[in-house]
Amino acid sequence: ARIPRGAVPTVPWWVFASLGFFAVLSSFGGGLDPYVRSVLVGLALLVCASLVGWTTRLGDIVDTLPVLFAPLR
């Protein structure tokens, strides 16, 4: 299945600029490794959430939410 180029959203330039700025800022404090790790974990979560949202019908997600949130009662 070919996905059209317009289906994938574009990322604004200021997102990359802020990631670079905070990478430089955290490298001065010696925290570049935790920063990169947290950015990669956030990116992995975003990709996984996008994949689930893209491949699952909305009705299936709505039916699953009470099961997922049952332990929080």
pLDDT in tens, the chain (73 residues): 687 888 878 889 999 999 999 999 999 988 999 999 999 999 999 999 988 888 888 888 888 889 999 999 8
Q: pTM of the predicted model, to two decimals?
A: 0.67
pLDDT of residue 6: 83
**Cβ atoms < 10 Å from Cβ of 39:** 14
pLDDT of residue 15: 94
Q: What are the residue boundaries of the structural domains of the chain, listed by start?
A: 5-72
pLDDT of residue 73: 87
